[in-house]
Amino acid sequence: MKMIQPRSTLSCLRELFSATWIVLASGVIYVVSQVAIAAILRPIGVVEFLRLQCLGFRATDYLETFSRWEQSGCLAAYRTHLWPDDLHWIWYSAFLTSLLARLLQRNGLSARANVLLLLPWAAGLCDLAENCFQHFFLAVPGWGAIVDPLPLISTLASILKWLLVFSCLCIIAALAVRTRAKA
């Protein structure tokens, strides 16, 4: 009598997320969310925003940036962006997972490759942690919660998020090239 092996959670995730409608729906939701956040952050600018996200290692970095943004009227935009950004990690994690799942299926890779499906969610959880720090920093009057080493932890979460997202994009690109080469 042959024993039927239960499928792993990652195998189920791969099958579900590789569906065309999931790829399309998660992609549309991600793009709409990204455009909304970019529009909200427009007064700050991409470079200034990323400078804080990736180089705000010390409390003084945050205090100086928040003071500058408050004086220029941009801090309100930063506060506002956090609300859609609190869900944004879910949208990009789902989209990246769907792209990875689809390409893993198309390339016929074994279930061992399913561990790659965790990378987008690891990035998303780093983003969620970063957002929690940002809410905390902005919630305390006079930015009294911005004390070392909290900005360092927030920035390291942000950097790890970006590294994981970049890794996902590289894997997706490599799998897409491999798929085209097989065709």
pLDDT of residue 118: 97
pTM above 0.75, yes or no: yes
156 part of a folded domain = yes
pLDDT, tens only, 93-107: 999 999 999 999 999
CA distance 138 to 144: 9
Asked, for residue 70, whether it belongs to a domain, the answer is yes
Mean pLDDT, the chain, whole residue set: 95
Domain count, the chain: 1
Residue 125: helix, strand or coil by DSSP?
helix
**pLDDT value at residue 43:** 97
Q: Is 143 contained in some domain?
A: yes
CA dist., res. 22 & res. 95, Å (int): 8
Domain span at residue 20?
11-182
Is residue 1 a part of any domain in this protein? no
* Residue 168, in any domain of the structure: yes
Evaluated on CA atoms 166, 169, 171, 177, the torsion sign reads negative
* In a domain? residue 6: no
pLDDT > 70? residue 6: no
Q: CB of 52 within 8 A of CB of 86?
A: no
Whether 79 is covered by a domain: the verdict is yes
Q: Does residue 5 surpass a pLDDT of 60? A: no
Handedness of CA 45, 48, 132, 10 (dihedral sign): positive
* Helices 119-139 and 75-106: angle between axes, nearest 10 degrees: 170
